[in-house]
Chain A
Amino acid sequence: MTLADLAMLLTALFLLIGSAFVLIGVAGLLKFDGPMTRLHAPTKVGTIGIGMLLLASMTNAAALGEPSFHEVLIMAFLFVTAPVSANFIAKVNIHRRDCDPPPKPPGARGWATLKPTEDAAGAGDRPAGQDDPDAVAR
């Protein structure tokens, strides 16, 4: 077995792992109940799944005799941006009351995502019952 054959086998293995993680993540996106638990699964697609596919691309380029390393750039970009977008989607879920509200943080101000009149009990200047859950907090 030559070195190129070994690189091809490695490419096939990485492709298998990557597609398995893609399927697992998407199955989790469909099967879980509740928006916050559903947020958990597809992050695996973005990190491990696509990371393995990019590793396969790198080993395949090495097997073809022209090694390339710029796939690391995409991998780094995805690893940096996946938590940021997940955090934004979680904030949307909290903001639109699609999940249980998080416990109150220490201090009087409360969470910035939720309206301050709702989590600071007693300190609100707005009577209860007038809250529109879909109102956009400015």
Chain B
Amino acid sequence: MSAAALLDIMIVVSMVALLIGSVLSMLRLALGPTTGDRILALDTMVINALGLVVVLGIYQGVQVYFEVALLIAMLGFVSTVALARFLLRGDIIE
């Protein structure tokens, strides 16, 4: 088996793994039971989406997905902090 064929198989495997990760964290998002768990599950889903974008960039062999991945990382962090801050203080910007 050539290295390129192995790489193609591994790209599919990692995409499936990230998809399973998204689905399972969505299950935790639905199950709860606490609000912290739901925020954590949303954060994990955002990180899985970021991984999917990175693997898509490897699959297509292009560099344009770098900005997308960086934007998703920043938005995920900001939304997690905003949700936690809202629960802690009842306000996001005081």
Contacts of B36 in A (CB 8 A): 35, 39, 89-90, 92-93, 96, 98
Contact string, B2-29, partner A, CB cutoff 8 A, digits 1/0? Answer: 1110110111011011101100110110
Query: Which one, A52-60, A101-109, A123-131, is touching chain B?
Result: A52-60
Q: Cα distance A64–B43 when bound, in Å?
A: 32
From A29, A68, A91, A92, give the contact of B28 (CB < 8 A).
A29
Interface centre among B7, B50, B80 (most CB of A within 10 A): B7
Q: Is B11's CB under 8 angstroms from A77's CB?
A: no
From A23, A26, A74, give the contact of B69 (CB < 8 A).
A74
Q: Cα distance A27–B25 when bound, in Å?
A: 9
Q: Is the interface of A mostly helix, strand, loop or mixed?
A: helix
**Given known contacts A35-B37, A60-B58, is B3 in contact with A8 (CB within 8 Å)?**
yes
Q: Cα distance A11–B22 when bound, in Å?
A: 22
Contact string, B57-84, partner A, CB cutoff 8 A, digits 1/0? Answer: 1100101001001100110010011001
Q: Is A88's CB under 8 angstroms from B51's CB?
A: no
Contacts of B87 in A (CB 8 A): 92, 95-96, 136
Contacts of A88 in B (CB 8 A): 80-81, 84-85, 88
Q: How far is the CB of A13 from chain B (nearest CB, A)?
A: 8
Q: Is A26's CB under 8 angstroms from B24's CB?
A: yes
Contacts of B70 in A (CB 8 A): 73-74, 77
Q: Given A25-B44, A30-B27, A77-B73, 4 more contacts at CB 8 Å?
A: A12-B10, A27-B24, A60-B58, A96-B34
* Residue ranges of B at the interface with A (Cβ–Cβ < 8 Å): 2-4, 6-7, 9-11, 13-14, 16-18, 20-21, 24-25, 27-28, 34-37, 39-41, 43-44, 47-48, 50-51, 54-55, 57-58, 61, 63, 66, 69-70, 73-74, 77, 80-81, 84-85, 87-90
